[in-house]
Amino acid sequence: MKKLSSYILMLALFAFSSCSLFEMDNYEEPKETLQGEVVDVETGEPVLTDQGSEGIRVRLIEDSWKGNVTPNPDFFCRPDGTFQHTKLFKGNYNIRVDGPFIPIVREDGRGVPLADESQNVDIHGVTKVRFEVQPFLKVEWVDEPQVINGKVRAKVRVTRAVSEDVFREKIEPMGNYDNSFLNVTDIQLFVSYSSTVGYRARDERWSSQINYDGSAFNALLGETITIESNGTIPPGRAVFVRAAARINYDTPRGSGIRRWNYNEPLQLLIP
């Protein structure tokens, strides 16, 4: 009889625990929205970027519980320098952006904070943020690109959006400073059928680049640079083109990703 009672008790416990295994998750789905923009602090113009891991990275750390320091999955800005995340839980978040601009979070070689311009924000409903940053370069069209025999010929101008003195003032205290950080290493002409044209949405058959060694580009800052696409683009269709340039400095520091500053995309008809 005692064995039978024990058996019945075990069955009851198992049934109770089994029910808990199949309980429905009653947590609400994340539905809060974060919208943001990254702009040049001097001009208020958007910092144009690439739509991908070479573009402006957005990192969120939800710290409502004070014990959670694990970042949410990173995401990236749109080409026009704006970003949006529509699947967040309510809470307090630290928001940081990294891109082709002076890092907004800086530490010295020992990890001592030098500057922190990240933002702590309560996200509830639709929450908007704005980051004002100092881009490395400004890339501009000089004239509208021309199409000649199936090739795009473009004229661009590249200037420093932050002076060498300010760059050094902000970056040198982080340690291991090198004058080569300021070197412009390449200019790219990206060509694509996609309106999100850039490194991640380029057609390798037609996109082209000009590389520069050392400080060779310094003499060309502010000058008109002519760059031509590769191959022959088939006639009768429209393509999008964009120019970009970058310096010899990775952001965030140690990531190995040297991010381009872009100009705005243009649409061209190939006759």
Q: What is the pLDDT of residues 86-111, one digit of tens each?
A: 999 999 999 999 999 999 999 999 99
Q: Can you give the pLDDT at residue 71?
A: 78
Q: How far apart are the first and last CA of the chain?
A: 95
Residue 51 pLDDT grade (very low, low, confident, very high; cuts 50, 70, 90):
confident
Beta bridge partners of 59: 96
Q: Taking Cα atoms as reference points, which of 84, 89, 83, 86 lies closest to residue 61?
A: 89
Q: Are 102 and 171 in contact (CB under 8 A)?
A: yes
Domain segments of the chain: what residues? 32-133, 137-269
Beta bridge partners of 192: 240
Same fold, 32-133 and 137-269: yes
Q: Cα separations (Å) of 64 from 29, 67, 110?
A: 17, 8, 28
CATH architecture of 137-269: Sandwich (2.60)
Higher pLDDT among residues 52 and 66, named by residue: 52
Residue 2 has pLDDT above 50, yes or no: no
Distance between CA 201 and CA 124 in Å, rounded? 33
Q: Can you give the pLDDT at residue 81?
A: 97
Mean local confidence (pLDDT), 33-40: 98
CATH fold for domain 32-133: Immunoglobulin-like (2.60.40)
Q: Can you give the pLDDT at residue 22?
A: 46
Q: Taking Cα atoms as reference points, which of 128, 71, 64 lies closest to residue 90?
A: 64
Residue 196 has pLDDT above 80, yes or no: yes
Residue 219 has pLDDT above 60, yes or no: yes
How is residue 9 written in tokens? 């008790």
Q: Can you give the pLDDT at residue 72?
A: 84
Q: Are 52 and 199 in contact (CB under 8 A)?
A: yes
How is residue 34 written in tokens? 């974060």
Residue 19 has pLDDT above 90, yes or no: no
DSSP state of 52: S
Instruction: Give the predicted TM-score (pTM) of the model.
Output: 0.87
Distance between CA 203 and CA 28 in Å, rounded? 42
Beta bridge partners of 255: none
Q: Are 171 and 108 in contact (CB under 8 A)?
A: no
Instruction: Provide the CB-side half-sphere exposure for 25 (13 A, CA).
Output: 3
Q: Taking Cα atoms as reference points, which of 39, 24, 206 lies closest to residue 132?
A: 39
